Chains A and B, each alone.
Chain A
Amino acid sequence: MDNQKYLQDIQEIRDLMSKSTRFISLSGMSGVLAGTYALLGGIAGYFILQNASYDRSYGTFERLLRTPFEQNTSLQILLVAGAVLGLSIVTAFILTRSKAARLKQRIWNAQSIRLIKNFIIHLSIGGLFTLTLFQYELIGLVAPAMLVFYGLACIQAAPYTLGTVKYLGISCAILGLINTQFIGYGLYFWTAGFGLCHIIYGAVMHYKYDRS
């Protein structure tokens, strides 16, 4: 009889500990959709590169600014990447908001703000570093750096949300490291990391946490 009460106490302690530190409303399905956008973006990128013709007479940034849009491969790729990112964020926000409503959790609480803060800090440091790679025309390292820093940002944010995110981060970071040895195949690694990994881990999250 008392035993039951103690067991309940422990259950409640564990529940509160995890609820007070982790933002549990992060939607798995939004990961799957983000991965799908990235796959489509990867395919678009492939076709853009197929038609690419480089004009080596300018530095990278100048080329980016001066080349007319139809021949401006970098700008087209950036546009596709930006669209993938934008769509993913909007999707994640909408799906997470509806999951939060279902779990009766608020979307802006101490936990979600801490999660975003930890993610954004690492991601923006990585983003700025990637820009300098672009600046020095180390284009081959851009995709690996994006994967590595994105992975690190996920690992950093993982303690504040569902466990699957940690493995997503580790996978992306490892893919990025492997990519450093296969420069020129960035698009494939990019698609594998941001596309396939997101679909796989998003699906795992969805089945593990969302179906109830």
Chain B
Amino acid sequence: MSLISKLNKAFDHRIRLGIMSILVVNDHADFKSLKELLDVTDGNLASHSKALEKENFIRVEKTFINRKPNTKYIATDEGKNAFQEHITALEKIISKND
């Protein structure tokens, strides 16, 4: 039970887990590439990224490229640490039950 409590509730959804997985290995990712990699709808991605933003796990930067809005997502240090802990907990759970 204690192992499971180490899992972070904020990552308890595959899209949020996916967003974090991509952002920890890339400096940043824009909305379009996240959408393509995760294969989700605009609204879905927007609401899940908002949830992660609220937790301070990701940072959102809005800029314009040739007048077109461009949204960049960046993982914060806090988010990277939380994600790392989450993965470690996941691995422990799996190896324990093997």
Chains A and B form a bound pair: yes
- Is the pair B93, A16 in contact by a Cβ cutoff of 8 Å? no
Partner of B14, one of A9, A19, A110: A9
* CA A84 to CA B91, docked complex, whole Å: 48
- Is the pair B91, A17 in contact by a Cβ cutoff of 8 Å? no
Whole-angstrom distance between the Cβ of B27 and the nearest chain A Cβ: 10
Interface size on A, residues (CB 8 A): 15
B93: A residues at CB distance < 8 A: 3, 6
Given contacts A13-B21, A16-B37, contact A6 B94 (CB under 8 A): yes
* CA A10 to CA B95, docked complex, whole Å: 12
Interface residue ranges of B9-39 to A (CB < 8 Å): 14, 17-18, 21-22, 24-26, 29, 33, 36-38
Give the residue name and chain of the B residue nearest to A7 (CB): B94
A91: B residues at CB distance < 8 A: none
Interface of A is mostly: helix
A20 in contact (CB, < 8 A): yes
16 pairs, CB–CB < 8 Å, chain A vs chain B: A3-B93, A3-B97, A7-B94, A10-B87, A10-B91, A12-B17, A13-B87, A16-B22, A16-B37, A19-B37, A20-B25, A20-B26, A20-B29, A20-B37, A21-B25, A109-B36
* CA A110 to CA B35, docked complex, whole Å: 13
